[in-house]
Amino acid sequence: MTSVTASTFQVPIEVCATLAFALSGLIAGARKKLDAFGVFVVTGVAAFGGGTLRDILLDRRPFFWVDHSHWLWLMLFLCLFAMIFMRSRHIQLTERAILIPDALGLGLYAALGTQTALMLQMPVIICALMGVMTAVFGGVLRDILCNEIPKAFNDHQPYAVIAFAGSLLVVAFNEFQIPQWLCIFIPAGLIFIFRIAAIYLVWRLPSWKIESE
């Protein structure tokens, strides 16, 4: 495994994370009763929005969904299948089922986004922010398109905070010259564990309380 690098795992990692976030976008579109085009756009933004924004800021080409366009076809058929067969009674069950893949996607995207920026020799804080952006901003853009305040901003769960801490861990592992595949999978695994713990132990971040006059 000494010859394995972060780029070796880039495609399978992005595939796993992309499917997790695509399902979250599909559920959001179904809840808003969007038409076929709306559901497809929201699903695509949730799946690719964070990674695309990262690549734009880092000036990386081609984008993942451009280089692997077959995933666009898969999402198109997934959206059409869901619109034909999914009913309101399925949405709540699907939303609960997506929590674990979503947590896995959070860890994988955060670690991969950070490692990608490190490979381009970006400063530490930029690398960590690229990890957070990759992992979180697909959901942010999804909620904005659905005319909602992004959940990452107002549900008081340590979602982006966990991603940021895991991204810093990726940077620290690289400083100690740990193999790149471990630099991705150990922080991604820890992000996954802490995200699941935050869900089931109901961890909350403090809110900004402003007293009324």
Render pLDDT for 173-185 as a digit per residue (tens, 0 to 9): 988 888 877 888 8
Kindly tell me if the per-residue pLDDT of 213 is higher than 60. no
CA quadruple 126, 103, 105, 169: dihedral positive or negative?
A: positive
In a domain, 206, yes or no: no
Average pLDDT (165-172) is: 94
Q: Name, in order, each residue with C-beta under 8 angstroms of 137's C-beta and a sequence gap of 6 or more.
A: 49, 50, 53
- How many domains does the chain fold into? 1
In a domain, 212, yes or no: no
In a domain, 213, yes or no: no
Looking at 88-102, 147-161, 189-203, which range is the least confident one?
Answer: 88-102
Looking at 49-58, 145-154, 202-211, which range is the least confident one?
Answer: 202-211
Average pLDDT (97-115) is: 82
In a domain, 99, yes or no: yes
Kindly tell me if the per-residue pLDDT of 148 is higher than 60. yes
Average pLDDT (143-163) is: 85
In a domain, 196, yes or no: yes
For 120-124, the CB contacts below 8 A with 24+ separation are 120/58, 120/60, 122/58, 124/168, 124/171
In a domain, 209, yes or no: no
How does the average pLDDT of the chain come out, rounded? 81
In a domain, 100, yes or no: yes
User: CA torsion 28→67→104→174, rounded to 10°?
Assistant: -140
Higher pLDDT, 113 or 32: 113
> Is cis: bond before 206, omega within 30 of 0?
no
Amino acid making up residue 13: I
Residues 158 and 152: their CA atoms lie apart, in Å, by: 8
Q: What percent of the chain has pLDDT over 90?
A: 17
Kindly tell me if the per-residue pLDDT of 77 is higher than 90. no
Residues 58 and 135: their CA atoms lie apart, in Å, by: 15
In a domain, 205, yes or no: no
Encode 186-210: b = buried (16+ Cβ within 10 Å), e = exposed. Answer: bbbebbbebbbebeeeeeeeeeeee
Residues 30 and 83: their CA atoms lie apart, in Å, by: 8
pLDDT at 1: 40
Higher pLDDT, 98 or 24: 24
* 112: containing domain: 6-200
The single residue listed with the structure tokens 């080409």 is: 61
CA angle, corner 152, sides to 112 and 85, nearest 5? 85
Please state, in angstroms and as integers, the Cα–Cα distance from residue 104 to each residue in 13, 18, 67, 176, following that order: 10, 10, 23, 25
